Amino acid sequence: MSVEERASEFRAAFDSLRNEIGKVIVGGQDTVDAVLTCVFAGGHCLLEGVPGLGKTMLVKTLSEALHLEFSRIQFTPDLMPADIIGTNMVVETDEGKREVHFRPGPIFANVVLADEINRATPKTQSALLEAMQEHTVSVARTIHTLEEPFFVLATQNPIEMDGTYPLPEAQLDRFLLKVLVKSPSHADLTEILERTTKREVVTGQPVMDGHTIREWQGLVRDVAAAP
Q: Using CA atoms in the order 170, 60, 217, 20, what is the torsion angle rounded to 10 degrees?
A: -150
Kind and range of the H or E element at 155? strand 151-156
Looking at residue 139, its pLDDT comes to 86
pLDDT tens for the chain, residues 1 to 227: 788 888 889 999 999 999 888 888 888 889 999 999 999 999 999 999 888 788 888 888 888 888 888 999 999 888 999 999 998 888 877 777 888 888 899 999 999 999 999 888 888 888 899 999 999 998 888 899 999 999 999 998 876 666 778 888 888 899 999 999 888 888 888 887 887 777 767 677 888 888 899 999 888 888 877 78
C-alpha–C-alpha distance, residues 217 and 166, integer Å: 31
- Establish how many alpha carbons lie within 13 A of residue 91's alpha carbon, considering only the half-sphere containing its beta carbon: 9
Distance CA 114, CA 107 (A): 9
Output the pLDDT for position 160: 62
The residue extents of the domains of the chain are 3-222
pLDDT for the residue 87: 87
Reported pTM? 0.83
Q: What's residue 162's pLDDT?
A: 66
DSSP 81-102: THHHHEEEEEEE-TTS-EEEEE
CATH superfamily, region 3-222: P-loop containing nucleotide triphosphate hydrolases (3.40.50.300)
